[in-house]
Structure 1
Amino acid sequence: FPFHVAGAVYTRWGRTNCTDGIHTELVYRGYAGGSHWTSTGAASDYLCLPKDPQWGNYDDAVAGDSEVWGAEYETWTFAPFSLRNADSSTLHEHNVPCAVCRAKTRASVLMVPAHKECHEGWTKEYSGYLTSGHKFHKAGFQYACMDAAPEVEAAGHRDENGALFHAVEGVCGSLPCPPYINGRELTCVVCTK
Structure 2
Amino acid sequence: MIPILILLLLVYDSRAETESKGSKNVIHDYIREQQPPVQADHHGEAQKRQLGNAMLHDTEEAMRLLKLATRIAIKNVVYTRWGKKTCPSKAELVHSGFVGGSHSYHSGAAVEPLCLPRDPEWGLYNNKVDRYRGLVYGAEYETNSFFRHISNHDVPCAVCLSHGRSVVEVFPARKTCYKGWNLEYSGYLMAGHWDYHAGTKYTCVDKIPDIIYGSHSNKNGYLFHHVEARCGSLKCPPYVHGRELVCAVCSRA
Q: Same fold (TM over 0.5)?
A: yes
Could you list the per-position Cα deviations for residues 68-112 of structure 1 after superposition, in whole angstroms to 9, with x for gaps in the alignment?
000000012x12x5xxxxxxx701100000000011110101000
> In structure 2, the residue corresponding to 1:134 is in which secondary structure?
coil
Please, what is the CA RMSD of the aligned residues? Answer: 1.2
Partner residue in 2 for 1:72 = 140
Three-state SS of the structure 1 residue aligned to 2:150 is coil
Aligned to 1:38: 105
Task: Measure, in 2, the Cα distance between the counterparts of 1:155 and 1:56.
Answer: 29
Counterpart of 2:140, as a letter, is: E
Residue 7 (str. 1) matches residue 76 (str. 2): yes
| Corresponding residue to 1:144 among 195, 203, 206 | 203
RCO greater where, 1 or 2, for CA within 8 Å and sep 6 or more? 1
The unaligned stretches of length 5 or more in structure 2 are 1-65
Q: CA deviation at 1:6?
A: 3.7
- Listed as ranges, the matches of 1:150-165 within 5 Å are 150-165=209-224
Q: What is the CA–CA distance in structure 2 between the aligned matches of 1:5 and 1:144, rounded to whole Å?
A: 28
1:16 Cα deviation after fit: 0.5
Counterpart of 1:96 in structure 2: which amino acid?
A: V
Distance 1:149 1:99 in 2: 14
Aligned to 2:233: 174
- Aligned AA for 2:87? C
Say which structure is richer in strand. Answer: 1
Number of residues paired by the alignment?
A: 182
Kindly name which structure, 1 or 2, has the bigger radius of gyration based on alpha carbons.
2
Distance 2:87 2:207 in 1: 14
Task: Give the alignment's TM-score, normalised by structure 2.
Answer: 0.70
Unaligned runs of 5+ in 1: 82-88
Q: CA deviation at 1:5?
A: 2.4
Q: In the alignment, what sits opposite 2:51?
A: none
Alignment-derived partner of residue 100 in structure 1? 159
SS of the residue 1:90 aligns to = helix
Query: Aligned residue for 1:63?
Result: 130
Letter in 1 for 2:77: A
Partner Cα distance (1:185, 1:168) in 2:
6
The farther-off stretch of 44-53 and 1-10 is 1-10
Amino acid at match of 1:187: V
Structure 1 length normalisation: TM-score?
0.91
Which amino acid is the alignment partner of residue 31 of structure 1? F
- Distance in 1, Cα, partners of 2:155 & 2:101: 11
Partner of 1:115: 174
Give the C-alpha shift of residue 125 in structure 1: 0.4
Instruction: For 2:139 and 2:197, locate their aligned partners in 1 and report how far apart those are by CA, in whole Å.
Output: 16
After superposition, the C-alpha distances for 1:35-67 in whole angstroms (9 at most, x for unaligned) are: 000111111011100001000001100113210
The answer for the alignment partner of 1:19 in structure 2 is 88
1:14-46 CA-partner distances (Å, limit 9, x unpaired): 1011111xx310010000110000111111011
